[in-house]
Amino acid sequence: MPELKNEFDCAATLKEGTWWMPFTANRRVREQGMARVLTSAKGAYYTAADGTKLFDTLSGLWCSPLGHADPRITEALRKQADTLDFAPGFQIANPETVRLSERIANMAPAGMDHVFFANSGSEADDTALKIAIGYHRLRGEGARFRLIGRERGYHGVGLGGMSVGGIVPNRKMFATIMVPGVDHIRHPYDHSKVAFSKGQPEWGAEMAEDLERLVALHDASTIAAIMVEPVQGSTGVLVPPVGYLERLREICTKHGILLIFDEVITGFGRMGENFASQRFNVKPDMITFAKAVTNGIVPMGGVIVSSDIYNTFMTGPENAIEFAHGYTYSGHPLAAAVAHTVLDIMEEENLVSRARALEPVLEEAVHSLRDVPIVYDIRNIGLTAGIDLKPAAGKPGARGLAMFERGLKEGLLLRCTGDTISFGPPFISTPEQLRDMVATVRKLIIELD
C-alpha cells in the first residue's frame, strides 16, 4: 500500500500507480511521468504539465465539441449547484431534467418522444439492450432473447455493450461473462473496395444482408434487437456505405427486430445534424446518446425510444414500476442544467451547421496525406476522420503509440488505437486549425521509423 504523503507530488504519485488508469498502458504512463499529464484546458486546446499547448484533435474523447472552459457553462453549473445540486430520480422529478427530456425528444426524429437517462455511453447501451428484451417480453414474444452486434463495433464496457461489441481485446479476457445468445454481423469495411473513400463509400450496402444470414441461422422469432453505430467511431471511423443503413432498417422491419443506433459519438451534431439518423435519413427504434450532450463536463447518457416502445411498457397496475432499471444519477440535475446551456450555445452559434461547413475542410486536409507512403487508408464523414498507418514490421500498434507520444511534443493531443489515428475536432475549430493539425500529422508520420 503506497504511503500517504502530506504534500502531494503528482510526478511521484503517478509513478506509484495508485491511479489504475482506464484503457491505458499504465506502466508506460508511470515511466513517462509528467510528460503524460494535462493540467488545464481552454477553447480547443489543453495545456500539458510542461506548459505545451495541445490542440484537442478528438474533442476530449469525442465529447467536447464546444471546447473547454466556456464561462457560460461554468456559470450554469454553479447556479444549478446552488439551486438543486442533486435530486433522486426514483419516483420524483426535477424541472431541468423534465425540460431536457422534452428538448432531446424534439431534436430526435419524429415519433421518438421518450428519454431514459443514464450517465455514460456504456450505461445508455446496456439500458437500451434491456429495454429491447423487456419490450418483446411484454408483447408476449419473450422468445426473442438474442442481441445482435457488429464486428468492430464499440458499445462501451458494460456486460451488454461488451457482448454486443466487436472489438477483440475488449472481449477476449471476459469470454466467460458474455451475455448469452449474442451474435454479430460483419462490418461493412473492405479495404480492397473502399480505400480512400471520401464520405460514404459507394460499395458495401450488400453487407447489410449479413443480418439475413443470422436470421436464417437463428430464426427471427429468437432475435430481439441489433445495435450498431451509424458510423463506427472507436474502431477508426468506419463510414456506412450508401444504402447500407437503409437496408438494415428494411431487414429489421421485415423481421420485427428492433434497430438500435448507438449515437454516443454521432449524437448532438458530429454528423452535421442533431443525430446521424437524420444525416442518413434512417429512423431506428432507439437512439443511445452520451458525451456531447453535456460537452463532457458532467457525465450524462440516455436512450431515446419510440412511442411504441414506451407505450408497451406503460401497462400493468398503475402503482407498479414498469421498468425495473435505473441509476442513482439518472437525470442528474447538474448534468441537465449543463446540457441545456450546451444546447443553447449550439443553437445560438449554429455549431451544428458549423460542423457541417467544416466537413469539406477536414476532408480535403486529411485526404492530402494520401501520398505519404505508410498511409494505408483515409476515411471521413461529418467532422470525423480516420487514418490507418501501415504497421511497422512485427510491431503492430508501435507507430500509433509513437504518433501519440510525439504529438504531445508537437502540440497535438492525438487519439490512436493500434495504428489508426481518429479525428473528431471541436466544432469551434477554425479551418486554419484543422489544416495546421493535419500539417503536423504529416510531419509526424514522415518522421516515423
Ligand X SMILES: Cc1ncc(COP(=O)(O)O)c(C=O)c1O
| Residues making contact with ligand X (CB under 6 A) | 61, 120-122, 125, 154-156, 229, 233-234, 262, 264-265, 290
The least CB distance from residue 26 to ligand X, in Å, is: 18
> What is the DSSP secondary structure assignment for residue 288, as one 8-state letter?
E
> At a CB cut-off of 8 Å and minimum separation 6, what does 178 contact?
159, 162, 163, 171
Considering beta carbons, is residue 265 or 362 the nearer one to ligand X?
A: 265
Q: Which of 107, 131, 162 is nearest to 286 (CA)?
A: 131
The least CB distance from residue 24 to ligand X, in Å, is: 13
Backbone angles phi, psi at 116, to 5 degrees: -110, 125
Considering beta carbons, is residue 287 or 355 the nearer one to ligand X?
A: 287
The least CB distance from residue 132 to ligand X, in Å, is: 16
How far, in Å, CA of 99 to CA of 96, rounded? 5
Considering beta carbons, is residue 154 or 244 the nearer one to ligand X?
A: 154
The least CB distance from residue 124 to ligand X, in Å, is: 7
Task: Write down the number of H helices and E strands in the chain.
Answer: 17, 15
How far, in Å, CA of 398 to CA of 9, rounded? 31
Torsion of CA 371, 374, 377, 379, to 10 degrees: -70
b/e map 273-283, b = 16+ CB within 10 Å: bbbbbebbebb
The least CB distance from residue 61 to ligand X, in Å, is: 6
Considering beta carbons, is residue 125 or 419 the nearer one to ligand X?
A: 125
- Using Cβ positions, the residue closest to ligand X within the complex turns out to be 121
Considering beta carbons, is residue 46 or 261 the nearer one to ligand X?
A: 261
Backbone angles phi, psi at 106, to 5 degrees: -70, -30
The least CB distance from residue 318 to ligand X, in Å, is: 34
The least CB distance from residue 154 to ligand X, in Å, is: 5
Is residue 141 within 8 A of residue 352, CB to CB? The reply is no
The least CB distance from residue 91 to ligand X, in Å, is: 26
| Alpha-carbon distances, residue 25 vs 17, 315, 398, 401 (angstroms) | 11, 48, 12, 10
Residue 415 burial by Cβ neighbours in a 10 Å radius (0-12, 13-18, 19+): buried
Considering beta carbons, is residue 107 or 264 the nearer one to ligand X?
A: 264
The least CB distance from residue 233 to ligand X, in Å, is: 5
Strand partners, 115: 304
Give the orientation angle of helix 431-447 with respect to helix 351-367, to 10 degrees: 30
Considering beta carbons, is residue 154 or 275 the nearer one to ligand X?
A: 154
Considering beta carbons, is residue 96 or 262 the nearer one to ligand X?
A: 262
Considering beta carbons, is residue 61 or 357 the nearer one to ligand X?
A: 61
The H-or-E segment that residue 138 falls in is helix 121-138
